[in-house]
Amino acid sequence: MVYNMHERLIPASPERVWDLLAGLGGEGDRLWPQEKGRFRLPEGVRVGALVEHGPMRYRVGAVEPCRRLWFDTREMTGGHGFTLHPAEGGTLVRHEITGRTTGLFRLLWPVLIRRQHDAVLERLLDNLEREAGRAVAG
């Protein structure tokens, strides 16, 4: 069983945080910290949409605006995603992975993928915090 969690208090409303998360993997994505093409949602953030994450392909499993964005994967039963919780001073953003690993992922998660995942998630949360603090155009 794998459980991995990252969280950050973002000094912005759940609506502002959601607006930024809803752009994840799309044109003009301001959150994904790695080179373009490593994480893409060509159909946008909607239930059932394809996710291209490096060599992996999976689907958006749940979209609850201002509350939850969840991804269903074959490599990990249970999936992974973001939940947003209103908190004093802003929004607590939590990213969780939960489930059992399958196939080659079972071997790669503990020795390679987990460290990369942790670094990417922390940089993504850094980007979210920075972008949420910027003035909204309009």
Note the pLDDT tens digit of each residue in 66-110: 999 999 988 888 899 999 999 999 999 999 999 888 888 888 899
2-132 maps to which CATH number?
A: 3.30.530.20
Distance of CA 37 to the CA centre of its chain: 15
Mean pLDDT of 111-137: 89
Mean pLDDT of 111-134: 93
DSSP 8-state class, residue 71: E
Residues 6 or more apart whose Cβ sits within 8 Å of residue 60: 41, 45, 46, 47, 48, 49, 51, 69, 70, 71, 72
Per-domain boundaries in the chain? 2-132
Q: 23-27, 61-65, 93-97 — which is least confidently predicted?
A: 23-27
Mean pLDDT of 26-42: 85
Rounded Cα–Cα distance for residues 82 and 95 (Å): 4
pLDDT band at 130 (very low <50, low <70, confident <90, very high): very high
Query: Quick check: helix, strand or coil at residue 22?
Result: coil
What does pTM read for this prediction?
0.92
What's the distance, Cα to Cα, between the start and end of the chain in Å? Answer: 46
